[in-house]
Amino acid sequence: MPKKDKSKKTTGYTDDHAASGLDTKFPEIETWPNQFPAYEILIDDPEFTSVCPKTGLPDFGRLTIRYMPNKRCMELKSLKEYLFTYRNLGIFQENIVNQVLNDVVKATDPVWARVVGDFRPRGGISTIVEAFYPRPKDSKGPRS
């Protein structure tokens, strides 16, 4: 009788869990014309919330967006409404940070941008996720 390979433990997460929330229609982030060159904008959401796509439990964290505007700046009320979309959305923390970065870049076409998600501990482990634009050229990730 063949032995079971016990090295392949599973957490029960599926491909559907991994992609959860990424097909959501997020509201557009509005912008306004930038008037000055070469400065940084730092936006901090210390009460960011979302939902774990597997357990349905809430995730809490701080989301920070830092960027150097090119021709457009983000309008903060629309950004706040955009971020509220995540409040009841089942999505992984890593996907949140990368999706926010993609949407910030789409809205503003910045010189550069950085999004950091600093999530509160779950099970004694906290997570900090950072994503950058432009993406590092040596990135091996599945998305461009």
Domain range annotation of the chain: 34-133
Q: Is the peptide bond before 136 cis (omega within 30 degrees of 0)?
A: no
Whether domain 34-133 has CATH 3.30.1130.10: the reply is yes
Q: What is the mean pLDDT of residues 40-68?
A: 97
CA gap 68, 132 in Å, rounded: 12
pLDDT tens profile 70-125: 999 999 999 999 999 999 999 999 999 999 999 999 999 999 999 999 999 988 99
Residues assigned a catalytic role: 52, 59
